[in-house]
Amino acid sequence: MALSSSRPHHLLRRFHASARALSRAEPHEFSQPSDYLGSWAEPARVANEERKAAKAAAAQTRAAERRAFELDFRQALMKERAQKLESWRNKEKLKAQKKAEHRELLRRQSSVWVSEDKMEKKILEAIMHTTPL
């Protein structure tokens, strides 16, 4: 019986191919280092630094614009709040003034002396024209 008939073909083929590859070990000569390899590293580093510097400058510009906008916005808010406070104070002062005028009017009306002949008329008028509560 032949060796090829008793063993599967793929095992023989694999063994045969590996044996041939191992038998052909030839010495390898390394090529000389090339100046081209790695020659782009320095320009790439410079370009990267320039890109980062431009990005940082743009970020600083945006930050300055944002700070200016926030300052303007805060000033507008403070101005609006001051106007609202002034308006509220004026309204409160007007309310207090009206209240004082009303009290003064009531005080004057209550302190008016009514003559005796008009007293009867006033009492009848108060009885006839009552104000419902």
Contact 42, 50 (CB under 8 A): no
The pTM score is 0.44
Domain segments of the chain: what residues?
Answer: 42-133
Q: DSSP letter string over 1-31? A: --HHHHS-HHHHHHHHHHHHHHHT-----PP
Q: DSSP letter string over 39-102? A: TTHHHHHHHHHHHHHHHHHHHHHHHHHHHHHHHHHHHHHHHHHHHHHHHHHHHHHHHHHHHHHH
Q: What is the pLDDT of residue 1?
A: 47
Q: What is the pLDDT of residue 59?
A: 98
Question: What's the pLDDT tens digit per position in 44-93?
Answer: 999 999 999 999 999 999 999 999 999 999 999 999 999 999 999 999 99
Question: What's the pLDDT tens digit per position in 95-121?
Answer: 999 999 999 998 888 777 777 778 888
